[in-house]
Amino acid sequence: QSVLTQPPSVSGAPGQRVTISCTGSNSNIGAGYDVHWYQQLPGTAPKLLIYGNNNRPSGVPDRFSGSKSGTSASLAITGLQAEDEADYYCQSYDSLSSSWVFGGGTKLTVL
């Protein structure tokens, strides 16, 4: 049971916009701790996609964006492409457990 809750799966057609939610509580996201997002392509290591709620590392397309409000955060992907099919994880800090925590992951399927 993850401290951060993500939908198990989302899907969209090429060119569409999809969002992935990450719901936490007042001991993590709601406490003001940053949310970060990772993309894990099949059989590969996770890759940092968004850091500090809404910042993209160099090389990440601006089709990917992050937002945070209250005890939740979201990852939005616009102009969906086949290569975006992957697992996506959110991550933050939880003061109750004094640990860095990940969401359970969301599998994105491009139809």
Partner 1 sequence: QLQLQESGPGLVRPSETLSLTCTVSGVSISSGSSYWGWIRQPPGKGLEWIGTISYSGSTNYNPSLKSHFTISGDTSKNQFSLKLNSVTAADTAVYYCARHFCSGGNCYGHYYFDYWGQGTLVAVSS
- Binding interface with partner 1 (CB under 8 A): 2, 31-34, 36, 38, 44-48, 51-52, 57, 89, 91-93, 95, 97-105
Residue 11 beta carbon to partner 1: minimum distance, rounded to whole angstroms? 19
Residue 34 beta carbon to partner 1: minimum distance, rounded to whole angstroms? 4
Residue 93 beta carbon to partner 1: minimum distance, rounded to whole angstroms? 4
48: its two tokens: 């940092």
Max Cα distance, the chain (Å): 40
8 vs 13 by CB, closer to partner 1: 8
72 vs 91 by CB, closer to partner 1: 91
Cα-based angle 36, 42, 48 (whole degrees, multiple of 5): 20
Residue 72 beta carbon to partner 1: minimum distance, rounded to whole angstroms? 17
From CA 11, how far away is CA 1, in angstroms rounded? 23
From CA 101, how far away is CA 6, in angstroms rounded? 12
14 vs 100 by CB, closer to partner 1: 100
13 vs 43 by CB, closer to partner 1: 43
Close Cβ partners of 79 (under 8 Å, ≥ 6 residues apart): 15, 17, 63
